[in-house]
């Protein structure tokens, strides 16, 4: 019978290496999955802030188009279906076409060609769209600059924010923009997106809104 003899000194080295490997593996597990020094930080909720701020600025606007057969014709509206509060915009390039926008912000509307006796026209499909209201942004800017803390609390926001509007490829629209500088070293998250802004006269502008959150 062959007797196998183990070197006790070599065996001790192997046990020491195995113990070291197990110890290192345990440390890796602790720092990867149970890191006691890690701190969980909630990401800045830019999308949530955007939704809240834009919602405050916006209203649902009804839209209807009317096309008369000629410039000697006019159109009429059924107040029961569309309401009395509207603004009419006559197309500059095509005087026979009218775009009518409906919302309480416009007040009682007037059909510009109402004195024309002939009523030969075609109405388009009635649709609704959320648009940013120029006057709402001005009101929000006033509240922002006069009582920022109260405004933030009323909106249910914990993060700080600022907003601005600029013409596409152009300058900032000052009357629709606010400026608040974050503290040094604070990470600021910014987002830009195109919007439609309509005022109480029915003028629509395509602008770029910039929202900063920190």
Supply φ then ψ for residue 11, to 5 degrees. -60, -35
Asked whether residue 207 is assigned to any structural domain, the reply reads yes
Asked whether residue 187 is assigned to any structural domain, the reply reads yes
Q: Are residues 136 and 103 in the same domain?
A: no
Q: Are residues 156 and 51 in the same domain?
A: yes
Q: Are residues 207 and 142 in the same domain?
A: yes
Q: Are residues 206 and 105 in the same domain?
A: no
Q: Are residues 180 and 86 in the same domain?
A: no
Q: Are residues 121 and 142 in the same domain?
A: no
Bridge partners, 211 (sequence order): 163, 191
What DSSP character marks residue 93? Answer: S
How far is Cα 72 from Cα 192, in angstroms, rounded to an integer? 45
Last residue of a domain, one of 129, 144, 169: 129
Please answer whether residues 195 and 207 qualify as being in contact, where contact means their C-beta atoms are separated by less than 8 angstroms.
yes
Q: Are residues 162 and 118 in the same domain?
A: no
Last residue of a domain, one of 105, 129, 153: 129
Asked whether residue 12 is assigned to any structural domain, the reply reads no
pLDDT of residue 177: 98
Q: Are residues 53 and 148 in the same domain?
A: yes
pLDDT of residue 83: 93
**Total number of domains constituting the chain:** 2
Q: What is the pLDDT of residues 58-105, one digit of tens each?
A: 999 999 999 999 999 999 999 888 999 999 999 999 999 999 999 999
Residue 32: enclosing H or E segment and its boundaries? Answer: helix 8-33
pLDDT of residue 40: 42
pLDDT of residue 182: 87
pLDDT of residue 23: 54
How far, CA to CA in Å, does 50 sit from each of 83, 89, 163, 185, 192? 31, 30, 10, 23, 10
Q: pTM above 0.85?
A: no
Asked whether residue 199 is assigned to any structural domain, the reply reads yes
Last residue of a domain, one of 129, 161, 179: 129
- Each residue's pLDDT expressed in tens, for the chain with a length of 214 residues: 555 454 555 555 555 655 655 655 555 554 444 444 433 445 789 999 999 999 999 999 999 999 999 999 999 999 888 999 999 999 999 999 999 999 999 999 999 999 998 999 999 999 999 999 999 999 999 999 999 999 999 999 999 999 999 999 999 999 999 988 888 889 999 999 999 999 999 999 999 999 999 9
Q: Domain containing 103: what range?
A: 61-129
Asked whether residue 2 is assigned to any structural domain, the reply reads no
């Amino acid at each position: 019978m062959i007797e196998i003899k183990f070197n006790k000194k070599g065996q001790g080295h192997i046990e020491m290496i195995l113990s070291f490997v197990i110890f290192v593996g345990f440390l890796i597990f602790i720092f990867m999955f149970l890191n006691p020094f890690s701190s969980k930080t909630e990401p800045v909720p830019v999308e949530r802030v955007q939704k809240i701020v834009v919602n405050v600025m916006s209203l649902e606007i009804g839209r209807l188009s009317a096309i008369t057969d000629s410039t000697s014709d006019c159109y009429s509206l059924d107040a029961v279906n569309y309401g009395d509060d509207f603004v009419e915009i006559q197309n500059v390039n095509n005087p026979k076409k009218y775009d009518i926008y409906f919302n309480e912000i416009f007040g009682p509307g007037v059909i510009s060609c109402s004195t024309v006796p002939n009523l030969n026209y075609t109405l388009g499909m009635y649709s609704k769209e959320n648009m940013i209201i120029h006057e709402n942004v001005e009101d929000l800017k006033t509240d922002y600059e006069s009582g920022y803390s109260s405004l933030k609390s009323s909106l249910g926001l914990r993060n700080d924010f600022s907003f601005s509007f600029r013409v596409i490829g152009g300058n900032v629209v000052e009357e629709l923009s606010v400026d608040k500088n974050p503290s040094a070293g604070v990470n600021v998250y910014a987002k830009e997106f195109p919007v439609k802004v309509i005022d109480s006269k029915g003028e629509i502008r395509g602008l770029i809104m910039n929202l900063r959150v920190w």
